[in-house]
């Protein structure tokens, strides 16, 4: 008999301790040390490194044969979802801004899972880029069954009145208008049984004073999810949302002050940030037939008392 590998001994899904207070790596216990990166940030510079499920997620064929597209798929939540989708049997296109090194690392994991992966650089603030990203995905993968709107921008502001117009526009265009444009273009190819998954945030549920503009866009994503779910129900296309809490990604040290980073995740009940790998199973659930009766859901794995809506 062939020798069993570590993956052979794992169960389908996330293989971590059932105790949420136990991080997989001791360096991930508690808030990260204060640090700063230039926007948009890079995975290789995160301290501690983020966990995307590289060694802990095992697929079970839940997405066999599906064609998927993830914006912001080069790093953070996007990378974790790309790895999980590929291990569940899906081909994966990732759209990203300009982080080529991060994108290639994500695609390496997709390919290692035996699936086709493509990377598409583009800016979801631009309508023409949204159309190009979707069209290239369909052309290269042969279709589109699952769209994950995940690209995001934020910038900490101590005083709301001091937020410059350029920041407001970039935040709204990336986080909300871009989601609408991506969905509009994707729906030209989607059919009954396909699904759209949006990434919301705890800030869209309860707000955050230092991220007022970002919070507003995330609240908009939640309502966009519910409204679009109603419109598309007659076509058999589902629309849902994952609204996480504090997640350790390159966006954090590249957009927040070093002091804020040094206490990031400490307000959660588990006294640490979420690792991207811990969110991937929610996206797999919403992309698979397991959630076939769910639409308009705002799933909130926040690590706090904020609950799903």
Cα–Cα distance list, 263 to 38, 123, 142, 267 (Å): 19, 31, 45, 8
What are the CA-CA distances from residue 194 to residues 46, 56, 225, 246 (Å)? Answer: 35, 27, 15, 29
Q: Does 189 qualify as catalytic in the annotation?
A: no
Q: State how beta strands 238-242 and 298-299 pair.
A: parallel
> Phi and psi of 186, rounded to 5°?
-65, -35
End-to-end CA distance of the chain: 49
Please tell me the number of Cα atoms within 13 Å of 32 on its side-chain side: 25
- 120 - beta bridge partners? 95
DSSP secondary structure of 54-70: TTTEE--STTTT-EEEE
Report the distance separating Cα 140 and Cα 117, nearest Å.
9
- What span, in angstroms and rounded, lies between the C-alpha atoms of 245 and 194? 27
Q: Which of 153, 179, 214, 283 is catalytic?
A: 214
What is the token pair recorded at 108? 């390496």
Q: Which residues are catalytic?
A: 214
């Amino acid at each position: 008999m062939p020798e069993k590998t570590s993956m052979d001994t794992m169960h389908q899904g996330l293989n971590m301790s059932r105790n949420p207070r136990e991080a997989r790596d001791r360096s991930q216990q508690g808030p990260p040390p204060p640090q700063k990166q230039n926007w948009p940030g890079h995975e290789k510079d995160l301290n501690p490194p983020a966990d995307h499920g590289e060694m802990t997620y095992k697929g079970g064929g839940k997405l066999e044969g599906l064609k998927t597209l993830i914006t912001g798929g080069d790093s953070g939540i996007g990378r974790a979802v790309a790895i999980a989708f590929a291990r569940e049997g899906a081909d994966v296109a990732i759209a990203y801004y300009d982080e080529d090194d991060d994108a290639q690392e994500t695609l390496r994991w997709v390919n290692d899972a035996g699936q086709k992966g493509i990377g598409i650089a583009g800016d979801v603030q631009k309508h023409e880029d949204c159309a190009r990203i979707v069209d290239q995905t369909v052309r290269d993968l042969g279709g589109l069954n699952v769209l994950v709107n995940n690209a995001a921008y934020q910038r900490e502001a101590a005083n709301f009145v001091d937020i410059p117009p350029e920041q407001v526009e970039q935040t709204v265009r990336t986080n909300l208008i871009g989601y609408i444009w991506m969905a509009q273009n994707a729906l030209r190819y989607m059919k009954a049984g396909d699904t759209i998954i949006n990434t919301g945030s705890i800030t869209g549920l309860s707000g955050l004073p230092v991220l007022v503009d970002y919070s507003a866009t995330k609240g908009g994503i939640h309502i966009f999810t519910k409204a679009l779910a109603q419109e598309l129900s007659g076509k058999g296309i589902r629309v849902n949302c994952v609204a996480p809490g504090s997640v350790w990604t390159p966006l954090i040290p590249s957009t927040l002050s070093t002091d804020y980073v040094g206490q990031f995740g400490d307000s959660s009940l588990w006294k640490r940030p979420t690792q991207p790998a811990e969110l991937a199973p929610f996206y797999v659930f919403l992309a698979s037939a397991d959630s076939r009766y769910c639409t308009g859901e705002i799933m909130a794995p926040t690590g706090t008392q904020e609950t799903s809506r």
